[in-house]
């Protein structure tokens, strides 16, 4: 990736691909305007676990797939408190990530880390984990994050106003993860389009990635795709082998989708939280330790992905509710993160609260692989904004931005002015 190409990204196309109100996000309730937190509290007050699916339980009646289906025949339960979510995340005998019932998730369990379990999950995750540990933060920052942030700010700074959601937050994680795959700026938006869950455009991914995989097999470089190409996995029978192209494409699909589709929204949520709490914006400007705390607090206060699911392997009792084997268990991290049993004044955005185990990045063996990269992206990006744009504030002439969405939450816009 060449940093000077960064400003050439088509802003109109970014606007279309990174708009929660667009068709791309319809099935995940991108345009859902209701604040779900009062309903989360009400549900939790009557019990930690409820039969049903998070969306419909709080008034979102969208398309079937993301109401927790495609398993309409299975029983569904949703968890709203912190302690029960944690117990499900940690009990990997009773609750697994891949359903045994046939369906799309079952089919993806062979190649997609997110749906693998047990030993296979540990083995495959171990192949890429070393590239994502905090020690490797410098590798990500120096190779991709800092140059992208600088190039974007060079383009924005003279303008005096911007919708940071589009001009800044969307581009940084997309170009970082594409850069780490050796994908150029000119293909980045095609990748984003193809990698979104609804796009399901495997052909574009293969078209762009296959030549890069072949090239790195011939001559590895200092990037993530070379890590995947060189990785050797040991199977249960002790046999060692390199990853197949299908394995690499599965990894790539997940990383490109997860890497480009989450951090932009969380960065926007963090920015909006700071811009609407000027005392915290000033404190973060004066001391970047406060900015770090504000990023963690935004992940607790409004995690961009507030729900993930597990499947019960046996009959069990969860939060006092009988759960039959095969049930789908929806863990509402959003609700758990505002559990008053865990946090005082849970609805308040307060970066000074003591650090605690929020579930913004999940927990247990599937805890977000990219969390340190995401933190580095948000910290580098907002630090640079504070360094370079004096008197950064919400644009008083723009429509008031709102945080919207059901299963993917983020701002409608982050309109700012400076100077």
Smallest gap from Cβ 370 to ligand HEM, in A, equals 2
CB atoms within 10 A of CB 12: 8
Q: Which two tokens stand for residue 77?
A: 């339960």
Buried residues in 170-180 as b, exposed as e (16+ CB within 10 A): bbbbbbbbbbb
78: helix, strand or coil? strand
Q: Which is nearer to ligand HEM, 105 or 395 (CB)?
A: 105
Name the site residues for ligand HEM (rule: CB under 6 A).
Answer: 97, 113-114, 125, 173, 177, 254-255, 258-259, 262-263, 266, 303-305, 308, 360-362, 366, 368-370, 373-374
Q: Where are the beta strands (DSSP E) in 299-405?
A: 307-312, 316-318, 321-323, 328-332, 393-394, 403-404
Residues whose CB is less than 8 angstroms from the CB of residue 207 and which lie 6 or more positions away in sequence, other chains included: none
Q: Which is nearer to ligand HEM, 29 or 395 (CB)?
A: 29
Task: Calculate Rg over the CA atoms of the chain.
Answer: 21
Smallest gap from Cβ 254 to ligand HEM, in A, equals 5
Smallest gap from Cβ 389 to ligand HEM, in A, equals 22
| Contacts within 8 Å (CB) and 24+ apart, 107-114 | 108/250, 110/250, 111/246, 111/247, 111/249, 111/250, 111/251, 112/250, 112/253, 112/254, 113/250, 113/251, 113/254, 113/369, 114/254, 114/366
Smallest gap from Cβ 263 to ligand HEM, in A, equals 4
Smallest gap from Cβ 264 to ligand HEM, in A, equals 9
Smallest gap from Cβ 360 to ligand HEM, in A, equals 5
Q: Which is nearer to ligand HEM, 255 or 392 (CB)?
A: 255
Smallest gap from Cβ 220 to ligand HEM, in A, equals 20
Q: Which is nearer to ligand HEM, 32 or 124 (CB)?
A: 124
Q: Which is nearer to ligand HEM, 48 or 303 (CB)?
A: 303
Q: Which is nearer to ligand HEM, 270 or 395 (CB)?
A: 270
Q: Which is nearer to ligand HEM, 309 or 395 (CB)?
A: 309
Residue nearest to ligand HEM according to CB distances in the complex: 370
Q: Which is nearer to ligand HEM, 155 or 369 (CB)?
A: 369
The Cα–Cα gap between 56 and 48 comes to 16
Smallest gap from Cβ 372 to ligand HEM, in A, equals 9
The Cα–Cα gap between 85 and 363 comes to 9
Nearest to 402 by CA among 84, 30, 3, 106: 30
Burial class of residue 131 in the structure, from the number of CB atoms within 10 Å of its CB (0-12 exposed, 13-18 middle, 19+ buried): buried
């Amino acid at each position: 990736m060449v940093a000077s190409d960064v400003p050439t990204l088509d802003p109109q196309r970014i606007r279309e691909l990174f708009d929660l109100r667009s068709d791309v996000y319809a099935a995940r309730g991108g345009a859902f305007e209701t604040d779900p937190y009062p309903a989360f509290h009400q549900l939790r007050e009557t019990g930690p676990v409820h039969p049903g699916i998070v969306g419909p339980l709080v008034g979102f009646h969208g398309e079937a797939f993301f109401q927790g289906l495609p398993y309409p025949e299975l029983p569904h339960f949703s968890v709203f408190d912190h302690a029960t979510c944690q117990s499900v995340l940690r009990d990997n005998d009773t609750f697994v990530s891949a359903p045994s019932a046939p369906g799309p998730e079952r089919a993806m369990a062979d190649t997609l880390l997110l749906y693998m379990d047990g030993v296979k999950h540990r083995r495959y995750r171990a192949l890429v984990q070393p590239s994502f540990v905090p020690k490797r933060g410098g590798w990500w920052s120096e190779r991709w994050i800092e140059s992208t942030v600088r190039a974007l700010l060079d383009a924005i700074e003279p303008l005096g106003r911007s919708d940071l959601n589009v001009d800044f937050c969307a581009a940084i994680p997309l170009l970082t993860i594409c850069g780490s795959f050796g994908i150029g700026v000119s293909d980045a938006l095609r990748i984003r389009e193809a990698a979104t869950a609804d796009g399901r455009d495997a052909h574009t991914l293969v078209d762009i990635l296959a030549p890069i995989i072949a090239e790195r097999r011939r001559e590895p470089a200092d990037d993530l795709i070379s890590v995947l190409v060189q990785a050797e996995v040991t199977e249960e029978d002790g046999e060692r082998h390199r990853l197949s192209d299908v394995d690499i494409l599965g990894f790539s699909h997940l990383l490109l989708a997860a890497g480009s589709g989450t951090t932009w929204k969380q960065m926007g949520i963090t920015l909006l939280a700071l811009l609407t709490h000027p005392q915290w914006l000033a404190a973060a400007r004066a001391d970047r330790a406060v900015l770090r705390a504000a990023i963690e607090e935004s992940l607790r206060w409004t995690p961009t992905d507030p729900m993930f699911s597990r499947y019960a392997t046996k009959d069990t009792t969860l939060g006092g509710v009988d759960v039959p084997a095969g049930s789908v268990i929806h863990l509402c991290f959003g609700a758990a993160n505002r559990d008053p049993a865990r946090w005082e004044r849970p609805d308040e955005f307060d970066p000074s609260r003591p650090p605690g185990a929020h579930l913004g990045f999940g927990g247990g063996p599937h805890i977000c692989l990219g969390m340190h990269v995401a933190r580095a992206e948000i910290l580098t990006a907002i630090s640079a904004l504070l360094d370079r744009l004096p008197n950064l504030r919400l644009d008083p002439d723009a429509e008031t931005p709102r945080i919207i969405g059901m299963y993917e939450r983020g701002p409608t816009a982050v309109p700012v002015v400076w100077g």
